Copies of this chain bind each other. A is one copy, B any other.
Amino acid sequence: MEDVVLEKVMEEVKKRLNQNTVDSSKAENAEIKREEKVMVSAVGLTEFVGTAVGDSVGLVIANVDSMLHEKMGIDKRFRSIGILGARTGAGPQIMAADEGVKATNTEIISVELARDTKGGAGHGSLIIFGAEDVSDARRAIEVSLKELNRTFGDVYSCDAGHLELQYTARASYAINKAFGAPVGKAFGLIVGAPAAIGVLMADTAVKTANVEIVSYASPSAGTAHSNEVIISVTGDSGAVRQAVIAAREVGMKVLKAMGQNPVSTTHPYI
């Protein structure tokens, strides 16, 4: 008899508890759903290409309206554009777009940083690809969305801040557009938030290996007032990799000393 009571009560309790947790699990489900939908066209919207981690979304416009074309300052060669935007992340999207531009007959028109990350310390982003044909724009967005899973691998987040590391043996035009890095050479990106951590990571990186600083950005210059210090480096591919890894290590140590446990957004690749 007690068991019956117990069961009845637990059922009721479960019902109530489920209502309570529905909000957080909704968020998780949304994330899963989003990921499943990558590369799947939304019904009735030919412009939709897909979504990816970081509330990233990829869109194309086959024939941009001429008035908007002019307002956006797009070169007249490009009838079609690819659009890659995200709430969370600029570095991962730039690195992904770099692969997109390598793989297709497109150019990077613009890379804009928003102050976002949904209450975090960093950036969201808006990257526009130009193409003469929409199929090229679509392909560039498809490649970029696919790459995001990898390029979020060395984004480590925790309550107090985040680290971001990126590395490529051969930078292309998206990286060049965003950071002014030389095309065809190895490239590394080092980000620490809060910005104080980024300063130490930058110092560690350049002391570790023979690399050259391409760009230095901080809350009041070169960022959209994000709470980050961001350096990008170039040089011999081995040296760049070594610098990036050393910066990651010291950044981790500081966040851990702050009582934090930074975790990769996906799976580390460097």
Contacts and interface: CB of A to CB of B under 8 A. Distances in A.
Interface stretch (A100-108, A117-125, A146-154, A169-177): A117-125
A47 B213 CA distance: 22
A48 B257 contact: yes
Contact of A254 (B57, B61, B115, B160): B57
**Which of the four size classes fits the interface of chain A?**
35 or more
Contact of A219 (B30, B113, B203, B258): B113
Contact of A206 (B59, B65, B253): B65
| Assembly stoichiometry (copies) | 3
Interface string A209-220: 000110010111
A62 to B, nearest CB: 10
Question: A-side binding surface: helix, strand, loop or mixed?
Answer: mixed
B21 A113 contact: no
A163 interface: no
B196 A83 contact: yes
Interface string A43-66: 011011001000101110100110
Contact of A126 (B13, B84, B128, B218): B218
